[in-house]
Amino acid sequence: MMTGFRRVVKAGFVGFWRNAYVSLASIFVLTVALFVIGSTMLLDQLLTTSLNTLQSKVDINVYFVPDAPEEEIEAIRTAVAALPDVSSVTYTSREDALEQYRERRQGDEISLQALAELDENPLGANIAIQAQETSQYENIARFLDEQQAQEEPQVQVIDVINYAQNKDSIDTLTGIILATEQASLIVMGILLLAAVLITFNTIRLAIYTSREEIAIMRLVGASNMFIRGPFMLQGIMYGFIAGLLALLIFYPLLIWIGPGTETFFEINLFDYYVQNFGDIFGIIVGIGVVLGLVSSTLAVARYLRT
Amino acid sequence: MIYFDNVSKLYSDGRAAALQEVTFQVAPKEFVSIVGHSGAGKTTLLKMIIAEDQPSHGKVFYESLDIHKISRSRLPQYRRKIGTVFQDFKLLPHKTAFENVAFAMEANGRSDEEIAENVPQALALVDLDDKAWNFPHELSGGEKQRVAIARAIVNQPDIIIADEPTGNLDPIATYEVVQILRKINDLGTTVIMTTHNKGVIDEIERRVITMDDGRIVRDDATGKYVL
């Protein structure tokens, strides 16, 4: 048993070196396939991050009337924060609102003068609400509308809810986000399928060159496992080496485009690559090994029938 | 030890049958030559014995074992009882003569010690001890065929199947190969050989089965080549 295993391993390595050209071709194709798979993964990461950034910029603002009592505002804020869809609620007090207004109108003398004419702060407090998903804003807005409707007319607390104004842009954005995610999923699927087919065909060609050898092995009474073993090992080696090569190619490439993605998508892909190297290594090399192993096993099975 | 029981082989494309109602048997330690024109069914017959081909009708037995009922996983074990020699040698080009012979033992799961002992013996039997480390492309046709014979006998099979073993060889090499096959037969191994070569048949002076159009037309105990 051990002798058989040792011979299979040895035959795998010898076959790998003696058919160096064929091995090289298989590794090259597998590297390209894994590079494509890795690129789609990184692209997907890029998309997800930038979509998250976009999503975090969407919110609902509730503006309270200036003389709204603190406890009423606090009550609404707590109620909203308790909703399952809400991820965060940011409170801006009247004083802070005024401060922000002043900052925005820096240099706009007329507005600032008008403000100075007033005896008291004309601005009310407000809360900014963020949902976990853009599609959940509808529910939150409905909740707030109900709150507003329940209020007694003489003691209004909520002045304006800006969801209705933002609704169109939020809807559009939600649509774009969903469509982009679906499209990237489909593209990824197609690329993966292409990569698998090309790899399978290349390894099948590589084994085709050994068909005489396989026929001879069968004639001398070699068991199927004894014949298949070396090819399976070679498939694993192709996948492993191709995985390492693909990872190696990513390194300088990401150093180069990392700063670019930082400014545009707010994520440095190179940092992401380095921080998650363990996972990426596992996925790319893992896919490579599985792809090589499955391809060679299927390809050699063709010559083992009867 | 080999029994053909009314074996026919038909092809689906409607060509003439490769074998038609073939019945014969081979006793242990026999040397049987099968002669006939190309397409007479000689090679199909041999393929039946090593389970490379399935009969359409009839059965082929190795002793009491129905060859075509052997499960796929048990087939390698069965094939180890049979040594095969072909017209085109079928040597592994990237292995030396020694490695080619050793490979058959490795495939059978023999130990390194057995390989180190038996391979030189087999090569000595075919008179190639001095060429053990040559690659096939460095050997002549006759030498290649002798390596193939060494590979066929190294596992001490019960039967040697030789399909046109002298087909690609010059007269001297042919003579050597036939002498080696006779020597192996004398040592107790059954030999079944197909050939075109009249000289070979007349020289061996053993049983000759003549085939024509998929049928056995003659079966002589000490035959001459008659077609």
- pLDDT of A237 > 90? The answer is yes
Among the partner residues B78, B84, B111, nearest to A219 by beta-carbon distance: B84
Residue B86, in any domain of the structure: no
For each of the domains in chain A, give its residue range(s) and CATH number, in order of start: 2-54+174-301 (no CATH), 59-164 (3.30.70.3040)
* Nearest residue of B to residue A19, measured between CA atoms: B94
CA distance B179 to B145: 13
Domain end among B121, B155, B189:
B155
Residues B35 and B128 occupy one common structural domain: no
B69 located within any domain: yes
**A282 contact partners, CB below 8 Å, separation of at least 6:** none
- Distance to chain A for B152, nearest Cα, Å: 8
DSSP symbols for A31-42: HHHHHHHHHHHH
Chain-chain contact of B90 with A306 (C-beta, under 8 angstroms): no
Distance CA A253, CA B112 (A): 50
The pLDDT score that the predictor gives to residue A165 is 61
What are the residue ranges of helices labelled H in B81-226? 97-107, 112-125, 141-153, 171-186, 198-204
Q: Do A219 and B92 touch (CB under 8 A)?
A: no
Yes or no, beta carbons of A306 and B51 under 8 Å apart: yes
B140-166 pLDDT, tens per residue? Answer: 999 999 999 999 999 999 999 999 999
One domain for residues B68 and B165: yes
pLDDT tens digits, B13-59: 766 778 889 999 999 999 999 998 888 889 899 999 998 888 998 99
Chain A residues within an 8 Å CB radius of B77: 221
Please identify among residues 12-31 of chain A the ones whose CB lies closer than 8 Å to any CB of chain B.
18
Total number of domains constituting chain B: 2
**Interfacial A residues in 203-262 facing B (CB < 8 Å):** 212-213, 215-224, 226
- A2 contact B CB<8A: no
- The yes-or-no verdict on residue B134 having pLDDT over 90 is yes
**Which chain B residues touch A225 with a CB distance below 8 Å?**
none
Same domain, B72 and B167: yes
CB B192 within 8 A of CB B160: yes
- Claim to verify: residue B171 and residue B220 sit in the same structural domain: yes
Same domain (yes/no): B62, B161 = yes
Does A107 or A230 have the greater pLDDT score? A230
Write the ipTM. Answer: 0.76
Nearest residue, CB atoms, B108 vs list A221, A224, A306: A221
B10: DSSP letter: -
What is the pTM assigned to this prediction? Answer: 0.69
Q: Closest Cα of chain A to B202: distance in Å?
A: 30
Which one of B107, B139, B155 terminates a domain? B155
Q: What are the backbone dihedrals phi and psi of residue B213, each rounded to the nearest 5 degrees, phi first?
A: 55, 40
Residues B24 and B56 in one domain: yes
Q: Is A223 within 8 Å of B111 when comparing Cβ atoms?
A: no
**What range does the domain containing B111 cover?**
93-155
Domain end (from B155, B178, B208): B155
Asked whether residue B75 falls in the same domain as residue B98, the answer is no
In the prediction, which pLDDT does A271 show?
84
Instruction: Give the end-to-end CA distance of chain B in Å, rounded to a whole number.
Output: 27
CATH number for position B73: 3.40.50.300
